[in-house]
Each structure stands twice: as structure tokens, then as C-alpha cells.
A = this chain, B = another copy of it.
């Protein structure tokens, strides 16, 4: 349940998509690592907050207690700590596992690919963070998914807001996950969850509401830096200062047009410590469809400066910032687009079919195809002793093979091959 087989047409399209993402990661100088799909259970527990219950655990068959990885970020942090690496730019494209309620029409599965790019190391503020946003911008532009916006916020600003609104520090994380629901619920419902379930005072909730409904650009940052309360809060001031720097760098990258500083963005995971961001498509691709399939966020990430330290025996921290591309959701969109266009995705790359027009010529076919393979040419033949020529040409048309190399008795005698263009039926002896 919640997993699926991928037939050739899927894999061909997915490989194209993954290639585009990996090309971008390599363009930014990242190296690839790979980690096992199995992790020690203790590595994963305590990293995902409420979502820990979604981890797939392996049966205790003697030996270590194992689980399937839930994302690629925690394994990366473990990898850095285990190998005492303090400085690395890496990408990782692999499948992760979540015992979630699948919503397969929206591209949400229990087994799905993640494509992660992360920069680990102690650097000058916001330079790697800005590069992560540039990467999201490049990938979403390259894939021509339609208009999009990248929402940006900072956990320090959110925590500063909570503090000045009178929320006790012990309730920061839980308040954060309530704020995170603002993209799916109206403010009134979020407010009542804060007051009801989370036990905030109505005044605190209202006060939070004034902040988290704000979004804008550099002007909003300036405004909040002047905010009488927020400007008194150390964390918020730090976050806002860095946000200003980030916008400066993004201006140099020429991408602020797609960036929105959005105080409602909170992100679910516990481990973020600074900048957070999430890209959403602004309008559905198929706007002629009555009920457009909502695909939600297509990329997200942020800064997590404390995670590596959780795996280091001495708690040594390695600051990290990274981005994860939501390849499955993007795949759903591209798949719909291909279906709508009627484009036939070729699932093989065969260049030529070796064919014979008469009987008793299998040996000639085997000899010729062997020569072609040895010359690096992608070639197929039918696995029949005496197939009909029509069947062979039909196979070319069905599978998109552009050429047929035909050898009959005459060609054998003359020592030539007849090369036929399947589409035009033009033939050349060679």
C-alpha cells in the first residue's frame, strides 16, 4: 500500500527529471554520497518530532535494531559526524520511506525519491543559504513548471515573535507546528488550535496572528527591524538582519521576483535553526481542468546547525543548510502534461532492427547484430527463427526504432546490407 511499480514510460520520464536536478547540483559543485537505506533505529528517533511514528521499523531478527531512512538529512548529519567531516557540499538522490497515509493522486507515496543538496561548514552568513535558494530557482525554471514562489522565513524570527507575544519558550516548537498549518487552514482555525489545544492565551494568539499573516520583501524586513517590540528581541533581530543580507545576495542573483518573506512559513521538522524556505507552484499546470490536482510544495529546506552535533560524542556542531526537491510531486505534474500532450515517450533507445525478408537467415542476423553491438550500436532483432518482414517492420513502428538493417539472400550474395528508414521507407544498400 502506498508504493508502486514504475513501468518503462515512468522510469524514462523520471530519469529525465532526475538528470535535470542532478545537472543543477553538479553545476553548483556538489559531490555525491550514498548511505544505506537501513539506519540504526536510535539514529532516527528524536529527530522528526511528531512524525517519528511514521518510521518503518525492521523486525528484530537478531542483531541490531534497524529502521528505514525517513529522509536524507539525518543520514547526512550522521555521516558527517561519524567521519568527522566539517566541510562538505554534497547531493544525494535516493528513496526514503514513511508509514504515512498515502495520497497517491497528489503524488504522495510511502516510498519516494528525495533529491537533496546540502552545504555543511562554518562560513560567512547567508552565502550558502542564498545558493540553496538559487538552486531551487534554477531547477523550477529549468523544468518549466509554470509560475512559482519561494517563501522564506527564519526560525529565529518566529521564535522572536513568539517571545514578544508572551509565549513561554517551552511552547515554541508546538506553537511552530500550529503556525505551519496556515497554508492549509484559515487563521481562525489556527488561532483556536493555539488557544484550545496548545493552551496559549487569546491575547498571545491574537498578537501572533498580527505577525504571522505578514508577507512581503525587503520593505517588510525593514519595517520589522523598526518594530518596537521585535527589535528588542535578540533572536528576532539576528534573524531579520540575516534576512536582509539574504535579500541583498538574492538581488545580486536576480531572483527576488520569486521570493516572498512570509512569516507564516514554519516547516514541520524540529531540527531547523535558522532560515527556512518552501517553494510552491502558483497555479496548476492544467488550468483547463475543472478540479486541478493540487500538488503542494515542490521544494523545501533550511538551516539546521544543531543536527550534526547530536551525532558527535563531544557534541561538536557543524552548521548546515540544505534543500530537498520534491521530485514525486513534480513528476506527477510532468506525467499529466505528457499524457495531455499525447506525446509518446520512447522507453528504449534502439537505433536499428536487424531484419531478414526470407527464411533460413537467422545465422546472418545473429552475425550482423553481433557486429553492430561490438561497434557500440544499439540494435535489436526478433527472437524468432523466421519472422515475417512485415512483423519486423511493425515492431520498429511500435517501439520507435528509426532504422531497419535488412539482409536477404541477394544482400548476402552481394555482401551488402539494405538500410531502411522506417518512417520514409527510403532504402540504401551499403
Contacts and interface: CB of A to CB of B under 8 A. Distances in A.
Interface residues of A, number: 77
A380 interface: yes
A397 interface: no
A347 to B, nearest CB: 4
Interface in A7-30: 7-8, 10-12, 14-15, 26-30
Contact of A366 (B253, B350, B374, B380): B253
Contact of A4 (B4, B36, B60, B377): B36
Interface stretch (A117-125, A202-210, A305-313): A117-125
A34 B63 contact: no
Nearest to A85: B7
A8 B33 contact: yes
Nearest to A53: B61
A12 B15 CA distance: 18
A379 B5 CA distance: 37
Contacts of A111: 36-38
A376 interface: yes
Q: Give the number of times this chain occurs in the complex, counting copies.
A: 2
A99 B61 contact: yes
Given A36-B111, A37-B97, A58-B59, 10 more contacts: A27-B377, A28-B380, A56-B59, A89-B380, A127-B385, A128-B383, A134-B370, A138-B374, A253-B366, A254-B370
23 contacts: A3-B36, A4-B36, A5-B79, A5-B82, A6-B35, A8-B31, A8-B33, A12-B32, A14-B34, A27-B378, A28-B378, A29-B378, A37-B95, A38-B56, A57-B58, A123-B384, A124-B383, A127-B362, A127-B366, A127-B383, A127-B385, A130-B366, A134-B373
Interface of A: 1, 3-8, 10-12, 14-15, 26-38, 56-61, 63-64, 68, 79, 82-83, 89-90, 95, 97, 99, 110-111, 119, 121, 123-124, 127-128, 130-131, 134, 138, 249, 252-254, 347-350, 362-363, 366-367, 370, 373-374, 376-380, 383-385
